[in-house]
């Protein structure tokens, strides 16, 4: 006859064996988080997103950085949860598959969608969320800079020397005054393309002063007049493509140098 103690021991052995036998489960019995996900958004159209780890970084530029602006005071930011972010800017094929229209001035299925406002970008996120099992949203300004820097503290994600910018970005000196298909230049250390240049990227936040001191998962001011744009575009000089540089515009403005990329939280349903 089994005692309560021996039943308990057997239950523990069976549970341990189950964890050992089932491939793909970690010691807590949950599935490892995939390093990359692909969202199917149309018949032949998909979107690849890379996993970004939680962590801490210094947001803004240090006092000695060349051409820095006073709107970029350096402060510590904690990103408390991992998330996925588009490996590229949203393309025209992706935008059209969700919205049924293509407003771009520079046409090309694999070029990033331009001439989109912040309002258009957030509508895209809402429609894509409805269409798929994922929660899709714009990155916060902090998530954008954290992702752009990919662990670096320099002017650009590849270092301080702007003479190398042409290897990583389409900008004023090499773009021919137009956008280019996404993903043609070198990626940053986290595998993300065109964080510098090609199109400015809308972020979720209202534009405003940074918080005083350290912050965790900052969301920007509660209200404002303009939304944040980051990364510089095809018509801009290197200074505007710096990792810390901040720009902004009215949420209804459709800029020929404005586009976006999207984020999917890891806590989203289905992940």
Give contact residues for Ca ion (rule: CB under 5 A).
Answer: 194, 198, 231
CA atoms of 207 and 224, how far apart (whole Å): 7
Rounded to a whole number of angstroms, the minimum distance from the CB of residue 30 to Ca ion is 34
Q: Is-contact 65 155, C-beta < 8 A?
A: yes
In the complex, the smallest distance separating the C-beta of residue 197 from Ca ion, rounded to whole angstroms, is 6
Task: Answer for the pair 233, 199: CB distance below 8 angstroms, yes or no.
Answer: yes
Smallest distance, Å, CB 170 to Ca ion? 8
When CB distances to Ca ion are compared, the closest residue is 231
In sequence order, what are the beta bridge partners of 156? 159
What is the DSSP code string of 232-270? --TT--GGGGSTT-EEEE-TT--BTTEE---EEETTSTT
- Coil/strand/helix, residue 204: strand
Measured between alpha carbons, how far is 125 from 174 in angstroms, rounded to an integer? 31
To Ca ion, the closest distance from the beta carbon of 156 in angstroms equals 12
Closer by beta carbon to Ca ion, 197 or else 220 = 197
Pick the closer one to Ca ion by CB: 125 or 195. 195
Instruction: Say how far apart CA 236 and CA 111 lie, in whole Å.
Output: 18
CB nearer to Ca ion: give 120 or 212. 120
Nearest approach in angstroms of CB 201 to Ca ion is: 5
* Cβ-based nearer residue to Ca ion, 80 or 177: 177
**Residue whose CB is less far from Ca ion, 147 or 198:** 198
């Amino acid at each position: 006859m089994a005692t309560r103690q021996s039943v308990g021991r057997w239950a523990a052995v069976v549970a341990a064996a189950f964890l050992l036998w089932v491939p793909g489960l970690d010691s807590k019995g949950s599935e490892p988080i995939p390093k990359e996900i692909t969202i199917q958004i149309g018949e032949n159209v998909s979107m690849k997103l890379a996993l970004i780890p939680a962590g801490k970084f210094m947001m803004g530029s240090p006092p000695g950085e060349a051409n820095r602006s006073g709107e970029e005071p350096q402060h510590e930011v904690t990103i408390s949860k991992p998330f996925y972010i588009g490996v590229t800017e949203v393309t025209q094929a992706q935008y059209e598959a969700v919205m049924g229209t293509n407003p771009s001035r520079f046409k090309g299925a694999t070029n990033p969608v331009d001439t989109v406002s912040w309002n258009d970008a957030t509508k895209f996120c809402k429609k894509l969320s409805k269409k798929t099992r994922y929660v899709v949203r714009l990155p916060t300004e902090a998530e954008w800079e954290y992702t752009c820097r990919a662990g670096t503290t320099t002017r650009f994600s590849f270092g301080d020397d702007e003479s190398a910018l042409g290897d990583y970005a389409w900008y004023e000196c090499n773009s021919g005054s137009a956008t280019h298909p996404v993903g043609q230049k070198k990626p940053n250390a986290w595998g993300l393309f065109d964080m510098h240049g090609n199109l400015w990227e809308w972020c979720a936040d209202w534009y405003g002063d940074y918080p005083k001191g350290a912050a965790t998962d900052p969301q920007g001011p509660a209200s404002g007049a303009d939304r944040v744009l980051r990364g510089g575009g095809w018509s801009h000089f290197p200074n505007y493509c710096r990792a810390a540089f901040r720009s902004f515009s009215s949420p209804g403005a459709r800029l020929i140098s404005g586009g976006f990329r999207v984020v999917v939280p890891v806590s989203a349903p289905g992940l």
